[in-house]
Structure 1
Amino acid sequence: MIEDPPDFSVLGFEGAPHDTAVFPWRAGDDALGSMADEPVATRTVVVRPVGADVGLLLARVVLALTALLDGARALFDLPRGHGAADAVATLVAGYGFAPASALVTAYGWAQLVAGVLVGLGVFASFAASALVAVGVVALGVSLPATVPTLAVGPVEGPLFGLVLAAVVVLVGPGRISGDADRAWFRAQTPVGVACMIIGIGTGLTVLLALRG
């Protein structure tokens, strides 16, 4: 059996025990001794400086222009009359890749499409993963000629392109892009790692399966 609460009015506390002037802890969260007085857990929010987004924009532009020029050279023989497309096909066949014609076509379109998307910053990490694959293949065929002589020249271009593409894949396109605040932009770490694995895996597959 529950007993009635004591009558505090006999002590001179009018309205007790519900009078908050006498019992302030009954006034709610803003009163003395309430939950509002307890410490609240907080977390640090890291804000990326504007310079980082500008730097990523510059990296994307350089990478995109390089990819577009390489793709146009392989597909459309640009600049005209210099035999650029034939030179690319001869180079691919010389490294032992087959079928050379189909690979040159796939390479050219991959460069063009990836270049446009990377430049605009739309699905940038996904597009740059194709350029990572190209960089892995180019580095793979250049290293054998470099290691015996310790010459850096043959691997400079492939290494530069591979690292620049990897930066866009892993870090993302930055806020000056079409991807800004998209769902995959906010989940950049898992997206970047997944795209990097896809790019490296594709490049190694081309090296190991399509080269005689």
Structure 2
Amino acid sequence: MTKHLTIVDHPLVQHKLTYMRDKDASTGKFRRLLREISLLLGYEALRDLPMTTTTVETPLQETEAPVLAGKKVALVSILRAGNGLLDGVLELVPSARVGFVGLYRDEETLQPVQYYFKVPKDLADRPVIVLDPMLATGNSSAAAVTLLKEAGARDIRFLCLLAAPEGVARMKEAHPDVPIITAALDERLNEKGYILPGLGDAGDRMFGTK
């Protein structure tokens, strides 16, 4: 991938996102839509995985056919909301290795605080997809990518449901080599660092917490 920002404007993605924005959508409906939309976004994030060929025997003849090359993809969820995207993308690549980065946002400073980090080995040899529904200030996302680079990751893509211009700019400043794949670029952040118009707190809506 060469573009820094890719907005997936597929009609099904936009349709499902609209229903997720609705404040009256139930926890169950929100969770289901997030899983469905993550499948569609995952196709875009994984579009240019390296390929090779293998020999297979069809019912009619032997042929050379394409398969994925190299080590398994690594999916890294930024806890806790990233797990909502993880379920759907894992359906696409069930053999993927999975890692977790635990970060929470200090509500006073809006800066990320790390509390957990567990990722697969050999990140330098794997495409790494970082998952977090909301790219708001970009501080947590940039911090997570920094941690992954320190762990050896070189081919990193960032997959999110919504992005704010401020978050995209922060990521481009910190990690210009990391492409962002999202369903929508919203208007701006409010004074508390939430995306407008957005859809609220993705983690709270997904897990039914406040």
The TM-score bracket by the shorter chain reads under 0.3
TM-score (norm 1): 0.25
Q: Which protein is richer in helix relative to its size?
A: 1
Mark the structure with the bigger radius of gyration.
1
RCO higher in 1 or 2 (8 Å CA, sep ≥ 6)? 2
Q: Which protein is richer in strand relative to its size?
A: 2
TM-score (norm 2): 0.25
